[in-house]
């Protein structure tokens, strides 16, 4: 089963932007993500509509953050992407009149609802500044290991 990696890809792109002093073009970001610039523009347009990024045209133009990293949560990004499905598992629908299926669906549904609430709370409490700080520590450790 194919996983939806859009959130990871967008966070990857945003971390590249966070490390740059200047705006990044869609072509720059496409190279970072090994994808097409059209895909980048389409995705970034949703982030622009959510007030997360802005874009400039012409020489020196490109994508840049609309607000500080500490003011952008992972939940903001998740919501801007259209709230992708979190879990691939779900209730059965083959026998809706069956009491066993109803019980199974109720238990699974409650567990998934609780797990999703925990995940969304974690996303809400984690900012791009937190992610950038984690990346910088990991990069420093990597440089030290490769000497």
Q: For the chain, what are the domain ranges?
A: 6-146
- Dump the DSSP string for 98-136: -HHHHHHHHHHHHHHHHHHHHHHHHHHT-BHHHHHHHHH
Beta bridge partners of 24: 63
Contact 68, 121 (CB under 8 A): no
Contact 34, 16 (CB under 8 A): no
Looking at the structure, give the CATH architecture of the domain made up of residues 6-146: Orthogonal Bundle (1.10)
For the whole model, what pTM was predicted?
0.84
Closest CA to 43 of 57, 56, 29, 32: 29
pLDDT tens-digit profile, the chain (147 residues): 566 788 999 999 999 999 987 899 999 999 999 999 999 999 999 999 999 999 988 887 899 999 999 999 999 999 999 887 788 787 888 888 899 999 999 999 999 999 999 999 999 999 999 999 998 898 888 888 776
């Amino acid at each position: 089963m194919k996983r939806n990696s859009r959130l990871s890809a967008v966070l990857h792109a945003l971390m590249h932007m966070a490390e740059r002093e200047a705006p990044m073009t869609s072509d720059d970001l496409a190279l970072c993500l090994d994808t097409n610039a059209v895909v980048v523009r389409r995705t970034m347009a949703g982030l622009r509509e959510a007030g997360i990024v802005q874009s400039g045209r012409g020489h020196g133009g490109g994508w840049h953050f609309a607000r500080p990293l500490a003011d952008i949560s992972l939940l903001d990004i998740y919501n801007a992407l259209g709230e992708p499905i979190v879990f691939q598992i779900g209730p059965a629908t083959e026998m809706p009149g069956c009491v066993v299926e109803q019980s199974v669906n109720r238990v699974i549904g409650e567990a998934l609802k609780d797990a999703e609430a925990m995940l969304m709370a974690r996303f809400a409490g984690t900012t791009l500044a937190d992610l950038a700080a984690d990346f910088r520590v990991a990069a420093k450790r990597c440089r030290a290991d490769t000497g």
